[in-house]
């Protein structure tokens, strides 16, 4: 029988009514003929409650104390949230006549590293689940976000862990698809709040999704998309509150025809910093960006101008809130004589707008078309970077919405390919 993995986040299982709703969706897939693995998160709010208790426990009687805690105990406490949901959903499914049972991380087992709170999945042996499916189990309700270390302790996977659990199960069980149910109904050509012309995509390639995720489309965690790409797991994003099909994230070969550009992404609060007249020498980039990395600054774009008379300008972008951090790091490097420049300028009123599409590889003139569209609308481009499937520009923040609309129109993203 074909297998399907379904994943439901905290808001989808927030109370018993919603858990019943989830159960109906699962039952539908069973009726369609799938053996189903359902990965569930904790009921929304529960994880925060548990994390809060851990904080109180760690703080000791003095609530202002720094609050040390053992990550292994944190994991034992926090993993209980998913345990509860998996048992409850199994009961609801059984009540509907579906052969279901709950599986905790240690029961499967989901083998992970021992990096508690941020463990990585090493292996999911499928023997136990296979045996139960052979005995007639129709649905395995898996507690997401958790696993078992080699030492026999409960681990949790950290941010986005339940999505990652779902993709890993889909890979391990050779599932036909991994459906990620969330509170949006799919991936759009751009943010529908910026233009009503935004259109839901039927399909999108892994690489495009990765670029869109890192550019601010927060539907899927980067980590789970990377895992899906590596194991060629077909990933569908869809809403738990409707019956509409969602967006399939898949290998580009499965996308027969498509627009050169899949979507327009943006990051609103960017800053541009420029070191004016840097003494140019081999290793200068490392001398600048080493201290920035050490200070924890998330440098995004980097542009070095052509050198003239041994001096150059070096520009980079980072999130607005990191500008003071970046300034401190650069000025300290100068004070220590590691770098030399005339002035450090910062522009905190910029935004990043990007077009993403694997079709760019085979379509010439995409960047040119982008620049012209922006120019036609009177938008000045301050910085440009390109990759194989992406072109990003910095523009004044006040033009950001206009730029997104302009590019969405120019590439006719409102029309399906």
Strand (E) or helix (H) holding 159? none
Stretch 24-53: interaction string toward its own copies, x if CB under 8 A: --------------------------x--x
Closest listed residue to residue 397, CA positions, set 356, 355, 347, 354: 347
Stretch near its own copies under the rule CB under 8 A, chosen from 32-40, 87-95, 180-188, 218-226: 87-95
- In the bound state with its own copies, the residue whose beta carbon lies nearer, of 89 and 284, is 89
- 83 contributes a contact to its own copies by CB under 8 A: yes
Closest listed residue to residue 34, CA positions, set 148, 178, 218: 178
* Shortest distance, position 397 Cβ to its own copies, whole Å: 44
- 106 contributes a contact to its own copies by CB under 8 A: yes
Stretch near its own copies under the rule CB under 8 A, chosen from 75-83, 177-185, 256-264, 375-383: 75-83
- 84 contributes a contact to its own copies by CB under 8 A: yes
DSSP string, 41-94: -PPTTHHHHHHHHHHHHHH-SSTTS-----HHHHHHHHTHHHHHHHHHHHHHHH
- 19 contributes a contact to its own copies by CB under 8 A: yes
> Which residues does 161 contact at the CB level (< 8 Å), separation at least 6?
144, 145, 146
* Shortest distance, position 82 Cβ to its own copies, whole Å: 9
Of 289-308, which residues contact its own copies (CB under 8 A)? none
Answer for the pair 270, 287: CB distance below 8 angstroms, yes or no: no
- In the bound state with its own copies, the residue whose beta carbon lies nearer, of 85 and 195, is 85
Structure tokens at 259: 């627009």
Q: Which of 92, 235, 267, 370 binds its own copies (CB under 8 A)?
A: 92
Phi first, then psi, for residue 180 (nearest 5°) are -100, 105
Q: Which of 34, 74, 206, 411 binds its own copies (CB under 8 A)?
A: 74
Answer for the pair 157, 121: CB distance below 8 angstroms, yes or no: yes
* Shortest distance, position 84 Cβ to its own copies, whole Å: 5
Stretch near its own copies under the rule CB under 8 A, chosen from 29-37, 84-92, 168-176, 374-382: 84-92
Closest listed residue to residue 153, CA positions, set 117, 106, 109, 110: 106
């Amino acid at each position: 029988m074909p297998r399907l993995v379904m994943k439901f986040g905290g808001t989808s299982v927030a109370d018993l009514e919603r858990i019943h709703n989830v159960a109906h969706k699962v039952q539908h897939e069973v009726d369609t003929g799938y053996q189903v693995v359902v990965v569930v998160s904790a009921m929304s709010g529960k994880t925060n409650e548990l994390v809060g208790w851990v904080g109180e426990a760690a703080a000791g009687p003095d609530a202002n104390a720094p609050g040390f805690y053992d990550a292994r105990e944190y994991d034992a406490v926090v993993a209980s949230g998913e345990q509860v949901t998996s048992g409850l959903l199994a009961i609801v499914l059984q009540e509907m006549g579906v052969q279901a049972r709950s599986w905790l991380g240690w029961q499967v087992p989901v083998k992970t590293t021992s990096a508690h709170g941020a463990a990585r999945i090493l292996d999911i042996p499928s023997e136990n689940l296979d045996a139960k499916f052979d005995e007639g189990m129709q649905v395995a309700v898996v507690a997401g976000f958790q696993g078992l270390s080699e030492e026999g302790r409960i681990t949790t996977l950290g941010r986005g862990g339940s999505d990652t659990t779902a993709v890993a199960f889909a890979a391990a069980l050779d599932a036909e698809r991994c459906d990620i149910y969330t509170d949006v109904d799919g991936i759009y050509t751009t943010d529908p709040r910026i233009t009503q012309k935004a259109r839901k995509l039927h399909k999108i390639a892994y690489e495009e999704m990765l670029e869109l995720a890192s550019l601010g489309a927060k539907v899927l965690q980067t980590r789970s998309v990377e895992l899906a790409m590596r194991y060629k797991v077909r990933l569908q994003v869809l809403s738990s509150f409707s019956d509409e099909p969602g967006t399939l994230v898949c290998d580009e070969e499965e996308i027969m025809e498509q627009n050169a550009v899949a979507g327009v992404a943006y990051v609103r609060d960017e800053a541009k910093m420029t070191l004016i007249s840097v003494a140019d020498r081999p290793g200068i980039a490392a001398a600048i960006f080493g201290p920035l990395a050490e200070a924890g600054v998330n440098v995004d774009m980097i542009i070095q101008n052509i050198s003239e008379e041994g001096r150059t300008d070096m520009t980079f972008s980072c999130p607005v809130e990191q500008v003071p951090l970046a300034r401190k790091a650069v000025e300290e490097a100068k004070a220590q004589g590691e770098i030399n420049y005339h002035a450090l300028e910062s522009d905190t009123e910029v935004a990043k707008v990007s077009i993403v599409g694997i079709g760019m590889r085979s379509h010439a003139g995409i960047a040119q078309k982008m620049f012209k569209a922006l120019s036609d609308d009177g938008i000045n481009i301050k910085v440009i970077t390109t990759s194989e499937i992406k072109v990003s520009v910095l523009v004044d923040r006040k033009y950001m919405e206009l730029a997104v609309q302009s590019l969405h129109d120019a590439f006719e993203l409102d029309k399906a390919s």
